[in-house]
Amino acid sequence: MLDVKKLLAKVMNSLNGLLYSSDSTVYLDYCKARRRGNVVNIWGESSGGWNIPASSYASLTTLPKQYRPDHNVYDCVEAYGGPSDISIVIQPDGLVKFYCPNSAAWWRYNVTYIVGG
């Protein structure tokens, strides 16, 4: 038998997730974040203003709690003006870090992930 109350609760939770939205500038144009329901999107870029040093992890910023993933999220970062294998990791403590074998000052990224289990 169909439980209307449970079905209605599921629908309302889904709608709340779609309707809830928050945006935040976390660190200048280098890191912006948006959350809609349980989906978080972070993005940013540098046009020479923030250099990722060679062969080390560089911490960019720490995300506010509502934007933090439940586990490490890994992705690629696009380098402008030449090949460079830049990676990004977003940690559960909110730390956003880059790794680059060569230094890079011109880059951009856009990462989307689920939060809240």
Domains and CATH numbers, the chain: 21-114 (2.60.40.1830)
Task: Tell me the C-alpha to C-alpha distance, in Å, between residue 85 and each of 25, 55, 66, 77, 78.
Answer: 26, 11, 29, 8, 8
| pTM for this entry | 0.77
DSSP notation for 8-76: HHHHHHHHHHHH-EEEEEEETBTEEEEEETTEEEEEEEEEEEEEEPTTEEEEEEE--GGG--SS-EEEE
How far is 18 from 107, CA to CA, in rounded Å? 31
The tens digit of pLDDT for each residue in 22-68 reads: 677 788 779 999 999 999 999 999 998 888 999 989 999 999 999 99
- Reduce the DSSP state of residue 107 to 3 states and report it: strand
